[in-house]
Each structure stands twice: as C-alpha cells, then as structure tokens.
Amino acid sequence: VKCFALQVAIIIGAGLVTGFGFTLTSKLPPKPTIVDRSKDGPPAHPPSPTGPTGVTGPTGATGTTGAIPDKPVAKAPAPSDVDKISLTAAKTLFDQHNAVFIDARAKKEYLESHIPGAMQLEKSDLDSQPPAKVLNYLPGMEIVVYCHGELCTDSEAVIRRLMALNKGIGPMHIIADGFPGWQKAGYPAESGPESGFQ
Amino acid sequence: MSRVYSIVALVLRLALAGIFLFAAYNKLRDPLSFSESIQAFRFPLPDWQVLLSTYAIPWTEIFCGVGLALGLWSRASAFVFILMMGVFLFGIISAIERHLPLDCGCFGKFKLYCEGPIGWCKVRENCLMMVASGVVLIGGGGRLALDGLFERNSGETPVT
C-alpha cells in the first residue's frame, strides 16, 4: 500500500512540477479585464469616427457620427478597455455605424442569422495567422463582439486574441445578452454569408 | 493471472494511454484554448491556478499515459486516471446543472465520441473510461506489462 501511495504521489507530483515549470515560461496572452457596463446607459461616443480615414464598414457606412442620446451616458471607454454593454448601447452603436460588429459564434450559426454587416470571426480563426479581413478592417476601429449571451465565453476569447495582435483595435465591447438577446429585442438581423470584408 | 486477463489488460492499458496522450497533446498544442475551457466552467479559481491547471493537467495525463502504455506502475497510473476523471466528471455535471453551454476542451478541437456542448453523453463517456481504469486498478497491468516483468524477476508471485 505504501509503495502504491508513493507511486501515485510521484505521478501527481511530477505532473504538478512539470506543469509549474511550464507556467513560468508561459507566453499566453493576458486575460482581458472586462468591466460590466451592461446596466449603465449607452456609451458616450467620441465626436468623430474612431476608425482610420477612408475605412468603410461592410454596410457601406463611412463612419457618420450619430446623435448622442439624451439619456445619461456611461463613461467613454478607453481604447484598451473592454466592457460588457447592454442591448440598447449595442443598438446605439449599430445605428451610428461607427463600430464593426463581430460574430464570434460558429460559421453555421452565422449563416443562419446574424447582426447585419457583422464580421464572422471565431477564436480558432485567430489561433494562427489572423485573416486579412482582421488586419484590413479592425485596426483603429471600435468593435462590438457577440456570441450566445451571458454564459458564452467566445466573445472574450476573440477579444483576448485580438488584443494579443497589438494592432490598436478598440475600444472593444461585448454584448452582454449576445445574439439571442438581440433577436429577442426585435433588432434587425440577416442571414447568409458575410459580405463587405475582404 | 490468466493469459486472457493479460491480453484484456494490455488492450485496456493501450486504449486508455492512447486517449490520455491524445488529450494531453491537444491541450499542450493549444494551451490558450484549454485555459479558456477551464475558465468557461466558471469555478472561482484565481488566474494562477487556471494557468497551473492548464499545464499540470496535460502533463499528469502524459505521465499516466506513458505508465499505462508501458505497464509501469499500472495500478498507480490507473488510480490517478480515475482521480482525474472524477474531477472532470464533477466539473461536467456541475456545468450541466448550471446550464453552461460549453465545450470541455478535453481533446482540443477533436471529439472522442460525444458531439456538441457537454452533456450527459460526456458523463457516460467518462464513466466508461473510469470503469476501464478500474479494471486495471484492481487487476493490475497483466503479464504483458513491465510491472509483471519486474515482479517475475524479483521472484514475487504476480497479484491476480
């Protein structure tokens, strides 16, 4: 019994020690700090488009500034900030055409239905060389990422990988209620393949 | 120890070792996804524990897998396998109860048997592997294991 217990302890110990050794040399990108602003009002928006000059969104919008809502507004996030926003705030950003919406769900789900003009981008797309559309359209842009809602972690995973690219993408938002909430609120949706991002 | 049992034990050991080594390889190949899978279970673990688990779990799987494949410390390896499966099972059942739509991250992008987000199929899959490990734990690695060879060389009668 002693010998058996010793063997078990050695196997577990070896796993822990080796694992600990790897954590010391780990190069995993840091986990983003996400501020929950989903209970606040719509985010304050900068008076001019945050995107680079000439960037045209997938819907053809050229970054026109929308009217700042009358409701009390939350503090404008810094470009390095990541926050969870409410559906109302997401809809405001959608109407202003200043942000790129990113669908972090599986492609099959995207094809069935998505927010109009959203870019389909799964976390696995960013595990190796990022797709050209990411480098062409996202640097300097405000982005809104969504997946299945509160319990879904794919939006966070996509944001973590985008931050690791260090391309000045941001501010970044996550729709707290995700696409199910968006649909439930009766906001616009479309189906079919992605268009406008090359 | 019967010849039949030795063959059964060999098949079980190799199957379990293959599963463990494949799982470990996929976790170490993409540690970021595995760490996110651990976080997706939403246990109140500090970041350092998530990071340690990200590497310690696959390395423990590798040591167990090698032990089972060679038949070296078969019982201890099978026991650790069962312990780990127990922890995974707890996590899976807890996630099912909390309706978390997550992927277990057990085999990276691959699936062993169960498709889609974790559910009771995953519980059955893990239970099956626990039973297979239990057979090795109780019966030992068999004659075709290094344990059996050492026991014969040391003049001991292998435990049946």
> Which chain B residue has the Cα nearest residue A22?
B55
Determine the residue of chain B that is closest to A150 in CA distance: B100
- Residue type (1 letter), A111: L
Chain A neighbours among B 120-159 (CB < 8 Å)? none
pLDDT tens per residue across span A18-31: 999 999 988 888 77
pTM over 0.80: no
The pLDDT value recorded for residue A52 is 38
- Computed over every residue of chain A, the mean pLDDT equals 79
User: Average pLDDT of A100-128?
Assistant: 91
- Under an 8 A CB cutoff, do A14 and B59 touch? yes
B103 close to A (CB below 8 A):
no
Give the integer Cα–Cα distance in Å for B55 and A70. Answer: 50
Q: Which of B31, B61, B76 is closest, CB to CB, to A4?
A: B76
Backbone angles phi, psi at B113, to 5 degrees: -140, -45
**pLDDT at B60 exceeding the cut of 90:** yes
Average pLDDT estimate for B15-32: 92
Per-residue pLDDT at B149: 76
Greatest mean pLDDT range, A160-169, A182-191, B33-42, B108-117: A182-191
**pLDDT of the residue at A43:** 54
Are the C-beta atoms of B58 and B27 separated by less than 8 Å?
A: yes
The gap between the terminal CA atoms of chain A, to the nearest Å, is 64
The answer to whether residue A60 scores a pLDDT higher than 60 is no
Smallest Cα distance from A95 to chain B, Å:
30
> How many percent of chain B have pLDDT more than 90?
46
Residues A75, A147, B57, CA angle at the centre, nearest 5°? 105
Q: Over the stretch A31-51, which tens digit does the pLDDT of each residue have? A: 788 888 777 655 555 444 444
CB-nearest to A19 from B30, B39, B55 is: B55
Query: What pLDDT is attached to residue B142?
Result: 82
% of chain A beyond a pLDDT of 70? 78
The answer to whether the CB atoms of A123 and B36 lie below 8 A apart is yes
Closest C-alpha to B93, from B19, B147, B41: B41
Please report the pLDDT score of residue A80 as a whole number. 53
For residue A118, give the DSSP letter.
P
Inform me whether the pLDDT recorded for B39 exceeds 90.
Answer: no
Q: Nearest CA to CA, how far is B50 from chain A (Å)?
A: 10
Chain A interface test: which of B59, B75, B99, B159 (most A C-beta within 10 Å): B59
Dump the DSSP string for A11-56.
HHHHHHHHHHHHHHT--PPPPPPEEE-TTS-PBP--SS--SPTT--
Is there a cis peptide before residue A171, judged by omega within 30 degrees of 0? Answer: yes
SS3 (DSSP) at A119: strand
Tokens for B78, please give them: 């099978």
In this complex, how many residue pairs, one in chain A and one in chain B, have their CB atoms less than 8 Å apart?
92
Chain-chain contact of B32 with A160 (C-beta, under 8 angstroms):
yes
Convert the pLDDT of each residue in B87-122 to its tens digit.
Answer: 999 999 998 888 887 777 777 667 777 777 788 888
Nearest C-alpha of chain B: how many angstroms from A9? 9
Tell me what pLDDT residue A12 has. Answer: 95
Q: For residue A7, which residues of chain B lie inside 8 Å, CB to CB?
A: 73, 75-76
Q: Which residues contact B134 (CB under 8 A, 6 or more apart)?
A: B78, B82
Q: Spell out the residues 6+ positions from residue A115 whose beta carbon is closer than 8 angstroms to its own.
A: A94, A101, A103, A146, A179, A182, A187, A188, A189, A190
Q: Is the pLDDT of residue A63 over 80?
A: no
Which is nearest to A51 in space by CA: A135, A163, A137, A177?
A137
The answer to whether the beta carbons of residues A175 and A181 sit under 8 Å apart is yes
Out of A11, A157, A160, whose CB is closest to B80?
A: A11
Asked if B51 and A14 come within 8 Å (Cβ–Cβ), the reply is no
Tell me the nearest-neighbour CA distance from A47 into chain B, angstroms: 36
Residue B80 at interface with chain A, using a CB cutoff of 8 Å: yes
Percent of chain A with pLDDT over 90: 39
Strand, helix or coil for residue B120: helix
Residue B156 is classified by DSSP as P
